[in-house]
């Protein structure tokens, strides 16, 4: 099923700052912050005020190579970034500035391309060019700055090509993964046993760069590909 | 191109493979589709110019037909091309790899993926170079860089004999 979307937008702002391509952007769940990631190795966080003005809040330069993505925690203002330097960085707001809570070096054996939190924010899934899917678990603390993450499990997928995209369904707990081989794989994460089981797959015609579960329609997944098409899939399980 | 001191002032120049193709009846049958083979891939890249020396990649033994493997799997067709820089610290290695990638992206069917990598053991920073060539966003960024592409395109211009 293919869908071409024609939507009318009006340009409101243009934010400058990054030196080259911006790979990723995301709003925090509070709506207060916008984070951007660039090939220039930096992560910028912009603060949005009530008048919809954006001001630079923090410029985070902890990465040593291209940052491929930024993703926000579902309930708290915690930001995660990852990229070509194979590491994942966690940040939070200390009242004035975003500070780094934790850096996980060599989180993958190659570029970390994408990440997603589960509905609770207790788990983070990452995928990389090393063909691995890894799940990290949060050690909770009242203070955001004292939180930490550790690897819970990892799974090498049977593919020849990098994994570019991952998303975690907040309604059903399913994880969707895909990449250079165009094969969208669905996994079920059991929250009690903290284990993963396969739940099906579907192959699209070209490399998958990004995919997202619909926030309210449980089985709906949108998948974007190199061929310029956006595929909408329903996962029957 | 046009550096003061070349990385490799005196490269070894090799003889080139004869370009004789034995034609069979199948070659004249329009209805038979020829799968891509190593010879075809080699033909696309053998005449790429070295960025520093007035020789082709074949003449400098940077590319060889034996180091090309074609996998014609229906669901996932791809080509594995190894290239051998003339010296282990060759600073042009990434550029050469990029030129090969660009030439193949312009020549092979769109669905055919390519892995362009350094022949193991032949370069000091082969891991780093292989990783760059395998990152599609970095390759796309390189192909949008006018200076870089001008140098690459010069390597791809057929030389007048």
Task: Give me the residue from A20, A84, A160 closest to B76, CB to CB.
Answer: A160
Mean pLDDT of chain A: 93
Q: How far apart are CA B124 and CA B87, in angstroms?
A: 9
Least confident of A4-8, A127-131, B84-88, B114-118: A4-8
Number of residues that this document lists for chain A: 237
HSE-CB for A168 with a 13 A CA cutoff: 27
Structure confidence at residue A113 (pLDDT) = 98
The answer to whether A36 touches A48, Cβ cutoff 8 Å, is no
CATH superfamily of domain region A21-119+149-156: YVTN repeat-like/Quinoprotein amine dehydrogenase (2.130.10.10)
What percent of chain A stands above pLDDT 90? 82
Could you read off the pLDDT of A196-214 as tens digits, one per residue? Answer: 999 999 999 999 999 999 9
Q: What is the pLDDT of residues B82-113, one digit of tens each?
A: 999 999 988 899 999 999 999 999 999 988 99
Among A17, A60, A23, CA closest to A165: A23
**ipTM score here?**
0.89
Residue B160 pLDDT exceeds 70: no
pLDDT at A216 over 60: yes
Residue A207: its pLDDT value, please?
Answer: 96
What does the pLDDT look like over B70-85, one tens digit per residue?
999 988 999 999 999 9
For chain A, what are the domain ranges? 21-119+149-156, 159-237
Q: Which residue has the tokens 């053998």?
A: B46
Whose tokens are 């993958």? That residue is A108
pLDDT of A40 above 50 = yes
Which helix (H) or strand (E) segment holds residue A79: the answer is: strand A78-83
* CA pseudo-torsion sign A190, A195, A199, A204: positive
Question: What per-residue confidence (pLDDT) applies to A1?
Answer: 44
Contact status, residue A232 vs residue A220, Cβ threshold 8 Å: yes
For residues A39-44, average pLDDT: 94
- Rounded to whole angstroms, how far apart are CA atoms A19 and A35? 15
What residues of chain B lie within 8 A of the CB of A111, using their CB?
A: 131, 135
- The string of DSSP letters for chain B reads ---SS-SSSS---PPPPP------GGGG-TTSPPPP-HHHHHHHHTTPBPSSSSSBTTTTTSS-GGGEEEE--SSS-EEEEEE--SSTT-TTHHHHHHHHHHHHHHHS-TT-EEEEEEPTTS-TTHHHHHHHHH-HHHHHHHHT-HHHHHHHHHHHSPPP-
pLDDT for position B112? 94
Res A144 pLDDT > 70: yes
Shortest Cα–Cα distance, A105 to chain B (Å)? 17
Q: How many CA atoms lie within 13 A of A199 on its CB side?
A: 19
Q: What is the mean pLDDT of chain B?
A: 89
Write down the pLDDT at residue B19: 76
Residue A57 makes CB contacts below 8 A (sequence gap 6+) with: A33, A45, A46, A47, A93, A97, A98
Q: CB A161 to CB B137 under 8 A? A: no
End-to-end C-alpha distance for chain A, whole angstroms: 19
Nearest Cα residue to A32 out of A45, A43, A48: A48
- Is residue B2's pLDDT more than 90? no
Check residue B4 and give its pLDDT: 55
Residues on chain B touching A210 (C-beta within 8 angstroms) = none
| pLDDT score, position A12 | 78
How confident is the model over A62-75, as a mean pLDDT? 96
Quick: pLDDT tens for B8-42: 877 888 888 777 677 777 667 766 678 899 999 99
Q: What element of type H or E holds A164? A: strand A163-168
pLDDT band at residue A99, thresholds of 50, 70 and 90? very high
Residues of B in contact with A23 (CB under 8 A): 137
Chain B contact probe: residue of A66, A69, A83, A112 with most B CBs at under 10 A:
A66
Task: Measure in Å the smallest separation between the Cα of A23 and chain B Cα atoms.
Answer: 9
Mean pLDDT within A180-205:
95
Give residue A3's pLDDT: 52
Q: How sure is the predictor about A48, in pLDDT bands with cuts at 50, 70 and 90? A: confident
Provide the percentage of residues in chain A whose pLDDT is more than 70: 97
Q: How far is the CA of A115 from the CAs of A24, A76, A130, A205, in angstroms? A: 12, 16, 14, 23
Comparing alpha-carbon positions, the chain A residue that sits nearest to B111 is A206
Distance CA B52, CA B2 (A): 7
Please compute the mean of the pLDDT values over residues A148-171 and round it to a whole number: 97
What percent of chain B stands above pLDDT 70? 91
Separation CA B131–CA B118 (nearest Å) = 10
pLDDT at residue A6 is higher than 80: no
pLDDT at B44 exceeding the cut of 60: yes
């Amino acid at each position: 099923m293919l869908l071409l979307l024609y939507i009318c937008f009006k340009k409101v702002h243009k934010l400058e700052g990054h030196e080259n391509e911006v790979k990723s952007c995301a709003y925090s769940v509070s709506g207060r912050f916008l984070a951007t990631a660039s090939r220039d190795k930096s992560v910028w966080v912009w603060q949005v005020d009530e008048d919809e003005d954006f001001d630079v809040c923090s410029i985070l330069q902890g990465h040593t190579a291209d940052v491929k993505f930024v993703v926000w925690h579902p309930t708290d203002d915690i930001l995660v970034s990852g990229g070509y330097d194979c590491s994942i960085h966690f940040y939070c707001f200390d009242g004035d500035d975003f500070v780094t809570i934790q850096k996980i070096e060599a989180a993958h054996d190659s570029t970390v391309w994408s990440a997603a939190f589960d509905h609770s924010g207790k788990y983070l899934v990452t995928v990389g060019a090393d063909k691995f899917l890894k799940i990290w678990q949060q050690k909770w603390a009242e203070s955001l700055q004292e939180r930490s993450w550790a690897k819970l499990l990892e799974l090498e997928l049977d593919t020849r090509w990098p994994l570019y995209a991952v998303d975690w369904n907040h309604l059903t707990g399913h994880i969707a993964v895909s990449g250079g081989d165009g094969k969208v794989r669905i996994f079920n994460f059991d929250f009690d046993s903290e284990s993963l089981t396969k739940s099906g797959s579907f192959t699209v015609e070209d490399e998958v760069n990004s995919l997202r579960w619909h926030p309210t329609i449980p089985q709906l997944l949108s998948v974007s590909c190199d061929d310029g098409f956006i595929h909408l899939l329903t996962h029957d399980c | 191109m046009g550096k003061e001191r070349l990385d490799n002032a005196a490269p070894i120049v090799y003889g080139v493979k004869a370009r004789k193709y034995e034609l069979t009846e199948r070659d004249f049958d329009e209805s038979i589709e020829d799968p891509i083979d190593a010879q075809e891939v080699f033909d696309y890249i053998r005449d790429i110019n070295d960025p520093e020396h007035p020789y082709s990649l074949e003449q400098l033994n940077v590319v060889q037909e034996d180091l090309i493997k074609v996998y014609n799997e229906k669901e996932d067709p791809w080509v594995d091309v190894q290239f051998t820089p003339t010296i282990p610290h060759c600073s042009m290695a990434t550029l050469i790899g990029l030129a090969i990638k660009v030439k193949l992206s312009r020549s092979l069917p769109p669905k055919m993926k390519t892995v362009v990598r350094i022949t193991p053991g032949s370069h000091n920073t082969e891991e780093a170079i292989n990783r760059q060539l395998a990152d599609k966003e970095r390759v796309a960024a390189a192909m949008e860089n006018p200076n870089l592409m001008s140098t690459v395109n010069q390597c791809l211009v057929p030389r007048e004999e």
